[in-house]
Amino acid sequence: MMSTFRRISALVAALALPLAVAAAPAGASTKQISIIEPGSQLESNPVATLQTLRLLGAQEIRLVLHWNQIAPDANSRSEPHGFSGSNPAAYPAASWAPWDAIIEDAKAADIGVDLDLDGRAPLWAMPRSAPVDAQGSQNPSASDYEAFVQAVGKRYSGTYTPSGASTPLPKVTFWSVWNEPNYQSSLEPQGSGHNNVNPVSPGVYRGLVAAAWKALGATGHGHNTILIGELAPRGYPHDFKGYMFPVLFVRSLYCVGSNYRPLSGSTARSQSCPVTASASRRFRSQNPGLFSATGFAAHLYSNYSAPNKEAYYTCKSGLCASLGDIGNLFGALDRSQRAYGSSRKLPVYDTEYGYQTAPPRKPGYGIVSQATAAAYLNWAEYISYKNPRILSYDQYLLDDPEQPTAANDNGNANNYASGLESWNGHPKPAYYAFRLPLYLPHTRGHNLEVWGCARPAPFASLDTGGDPQTVKIQFEPSGSNTFTTLKTVTVAPATGYFDTHVSFPGNGTVRLTYTYPAGDTMLPAGYTIYSQHVSITG
């Protein structure tokens, strides 16, 4: 383990530049939660996977629930005769079983569930013209989706006892609507007209948000955390055939133009928006989900670039929304709200973030080394923490989906190698960086800011009856082989974060250590973990 830290020490120091925090606003998101999307292994082995996540310190798991995995006769053109889509008992019990198990096991492990009510509609919930291979994304029926969300909401209301069970299923209180609706693979068509330049998907998504909002409210979840958006960070530069820029999607979703005034006339009609001024005045009251949602979810991937800047060529337009240009999304949301008299500044939840690595992927576009990924992840989390409007930090995924082969190495869909572990379960440097993050925005000088997180600390505190948890900031002078503790910091009890300043005596290496307490029920007493190393020049 220590040799891994040594190898990335120089890289971490090189990346910790003053420019990293130049755009960070005052304050910090001290309540920022950590989310992880575990991937397929959660379904196959939920108990062991959740134990791993608990030791890593993930507070929430993002669980993507595919509609067509629950719905009966999902590959049929016709809805089953007599089917009542809002009744959880009308769906096959076997379809619910994996999700019930995960949600029950997560509750037992004190890990929250962010349940993403994803698309992938059954064939019978799409137009009859939809091709069989439309992947559940083509013009899904909002009314059928509303019934589906009602069924999910009832099942996980905390009061629903399935047939054959003796106790109710746990209550889910964290919800998200759809997944990446600005990508054709999730919602189509994205556009229409000549060269597909007329936005279509935002209007469809607007109907889906309204359906989910109504269904969740009707099933006792109206005061839960409910996120909308879940947008991918980039778009296609020429038309909307495959990908829509997130800023353009937000504008059309809120029925405003580039000047952030409500659309009207034929332009409004083509985007399923109010056509007249009087109709626009009713838009806010008729779309409560767009204005009263808990927050707006976004996938803030920086692709292959450092997290403090957006380097992708299409994003020179100012229409992207990665972590490096998050201001674009803030501006679009705020100006869209103001167009209807709302001063609301929707907080943003990062619900997907990560870097693909080589290995296991081959070096190439969009791929970084494992050491770079580890350093970038800590840097990205620091930027998120410093931004009071970003309320979550997400790791996608726990492990790489599969072993790379000559046939699949170029296919991101099946081999998105952004995991903390390789496909065979072997930890990458990012595993240790996620568990005990460390970042120094400046690495030259004596009195330096040291930011980090003992991510497992809140769980350890829970296991020990609320004992305060501490992290040691240690220093190894250049030419020495011994670390000594310069400062012991008590971390925030709910999140494990800390942000402090330390006086360093000269050149050397900084690391964090955290020791699980004796009362922790999942590890032997005295088990100590280490952060990556950062080199500094005094």
pLDDT beyond 90 at 241:
no
Q: What is the mean pLDDT of the chain?
A: 91
Burial 150-165 (b: 16+ CB within 10 A, else e): bbbbbbbbeebebeee
| φ and ψ of 519, to 5 deg | -80, -5
pLDDT beyond 70 at 449:
yes
Q: Are 100 and 169 in contact (CB under 8 A)?
A: yes
Q: Average the pLDDT over each of 66-80, 85-99, 200-214, 405-419 and give the range with the smallest value.
A: 405-419
**pTM summary value:** 0.94
pLDDT beyond 60 at 303:
yes
pLDDT beyond 80 at 21:
no
DSSP letter for each residue of 478-525? TT----EEEEEEEPPTTT-EEEEEEE--SSEEEEEEEE--TT-SSS-T
In this structure, which amino acid lies at residue 357? T
Question: Nearest-CA neighbor of 254 among 337, 373, 130?
Answer: 337
- Per-residue pLDDT of 66-82, as tens digits, reads 999 999 999 999 999 99
pLDDT beyond 70 at 396:
yes
Q: Which residue has the tokens 């009609």?
A: 269
Question: Nearest-CA neighbor of 10 among 534, 537, 538?
Answer: 534
